[in-house]
Amino acid sequence: MEITVNPMNERAVVVQLRGRLDLLVATEVKQRLSQIVSDGFRLIVVDMGEVSFVDSSGLGALIGGLKAARLAGGDLRLANLNAQAQAILELTTLNRVLRPYPNVDEALHAV
């Protein structure tokens, strides 16, 4: 898993993930998202455009990041999900709390 962090301004950051979001990398992703919140960013957009697979551990990492962001008064949003990631969100009904957006710009500017 490759994780790239791109600050957009003092409040918002885009985190691009590349590879499989599964048990092998879930802890690292969760810790990285929590660190981003600790660094002061309140809006985290996770660009999933290059994520080939997501399992339940990967979803758990995203939920952990969402929880950290919301406890700090912010939000975590997902962008560019592939069909598999979209399907797992819908099957688990997590699409109600982890809102998917078609692209990074819409996720950054949604109200």
User: Which CATH number is 38's domain given?
Assistant: 3.30.750.24
Range of the domain at 42: 2-109
pTM comes to 0.96
How confident is the model at residue 49, as a pLDDT? 97
The set of residues, in sequence order, having a beta carbon less than 8 Å from that of 54 and lying 6+ positions away, is 20, 21, 22, 48, 84, 85, 88
Tokens in use for 74?
A: 């912010």
Give me the residues paired with residue 79 across strands: 47, 101
How confident is the model at residue 83, as a pLDDT? 95
Which residue stretches of the chain have pLDDT < 70?
A: none
Q: Please tell me the chain's helix, strand, coil percentages from 3-state DSSP, rounded to the nearest 5.
A: 40, 30, 25
How confident is the model at residue 111, as a pLDDT? 78
Instruction: Domain count for the chain, please give it.
Output: 1
